[in-house]
Amino acid sequence: MSDSVPRPTDAQLHEFRQRVRAYIVTHAPPFAAREGRRAPENADQEAALRTWFAGLFDAGFVGADWPVEYGGRADHHPLHDRIVSEELLRARAPRPVDQVNLAAHVLLHFGSEEQKAALLPPIRRSEHVWCQLLSEPNAGSDIAGVRCRGVRNNDGSWVLDGQKTWITDGHWADMGLALVRTDPASTRHHGLSAFVMPLSADGVEVRPIRTINEAIEVNEVFLDSVPISADGLIGEEGQGWSIIMAGLDFERFGIGGNVILLELLIDDLVTVARHATLGGKPVLEHEDIRQTVSELAVEVEVAKAFIDDHVERMTVGADEVGDGSIAKLSFAETYHRVSAYGTELSATVCTEAADPSIAEAKQRLRECWLWSRAYTVSGGSSEMMRNILAKRRLMLPSR
């Protein structure tokens, strides 16, 4: 976004929101987004999702924050992104793949002009879905422990070997953003480099992992002497840590920005509570249950208030170090607590089974609960977020 773009008026924001809503009604795929089941389940769904995502780019609703020369909008304002996210969530329409957004921002900030020209257009056409090849069996949220190695050949090309795990969307992704140790003598965050890796490259094997919700969202990826051309290196050799950290800061705020999901969860929880009985009387007449539902609703409002405040400060360049981590932590932990309690309540009380909206609410609460622990890990675990805030925000000593 250009610094010269003024904040849109309330009337302009309302008009933009109406356009987004109209577009969703007209063009969204004929299936609702489900938590923990965001990846396509068959070829028809995949084709529909790619068409949908490409359409969002074409309409200027996604990727509008890119530089104009790469397809962005000169009149883009961060509040537009917030509106698009809110309306997609409220409509339960499929949301753009988070890893694609991260890869795009990494390329825009660190990629060469040749990489941008070659790799950004396929993202906007949704020909390339990206995944993050970061976590490993012995380096989950602590990605400074990466062991996957890259060796440079005499001609400048590379060979990658190792294993990545918990790779979201790896089974249908076309490209991967890989973090690899290129200096064998290095430790921790030193000696790491970032690469563009086609998932179709020789030596790449993807093994899907079925989740507790009987879905395939994450994968193991094995790299066996995978050849990467010299132009596959992003930025400079050894710059991988700073590149990935910059991308994850963007992703963490994106996860926190999904706070509307919390409102939808509370709606489902209240729907179940209002139509349920326990011990022969309405659930909300039980003081302990009413108190818990109220406390969870307050937690949701607190998370939403932080996001609202951060967006306002971000638009004037007044955001602070660690805001993305706070947003991510607040969202993930609240999401787990609300969905866990909603699932427990649904399994305890009697509801009016004849009303399909109640059954749908109970199903959504259960699916969210089964997926909730993934949110407390993906993009950096809650423990890592607290460590980041302690060091960067509170400036506490490491020991």
Q: Quote the mean pLDDT of the chain.
A: 90
Percent of the chain at pLDDT above 90? 66
Better pLDDT: 142 or 202: 202
Q: Which residues on neighbouring strands pair with residue 151, listed in sequence order?
A: 159
Q: What is the pLDDT of residue 1?
A: 42
Average pLDDT, integer, range 288-296:
96
pLDDT in tens, 143-155: 778 999 999 999 9
What's the pLDDT band for 140 if we cut at 50, 70, 90?
low
- What b-and-e string marks burial along 43-59, b requiring 16 or more CB atoms within 10 Å of the CB? eebeebbbebbbbbbee
What SS3 class is residue 218?
Answer: strand
pLDDT reported for residue 388: 84
Range among 134-148, 214-228, 304-318, 340-354 rated most confident: 214-228
325 band by pLDDT with thresholds 50, 70 and 90: confident
Beta strands per DSSP E along the chain: 130-133, 149-152, 158-164, 175-181, 192-198, 204-210, 216-228, 233-234, 276-278, 281-282, 350-351
Nearest residue to 36 via CA among 335, 374, 382, 345? 374
Q: Are 310 and 327 in contact (CB under 8 A)?
A: yes
What integer is the mean pLDDT of 66-76? 94
Per residue in 195-209, pLDDT (tens digit) is 999 999 999 999 999
Q: Minimum mean pLDDT among 98-102, 138-142, 185-189, 339-343: which range? A: 138-142
The whole-number pLDDT of residue 249 equals 59
pLDDT of res. 257: 60
pLDDT of residue 8: 93
| CA–CA distance, 365 with 255 (Å, rounded to integer) | 19
Q: What is the pLDDT of residue 4?
A: 66
pLDDT at residue 2, as a whole number: 44
Residue 240 and residue 246: Cα distance in Å, rounded? 10
d(CA 27, CA 55): 8
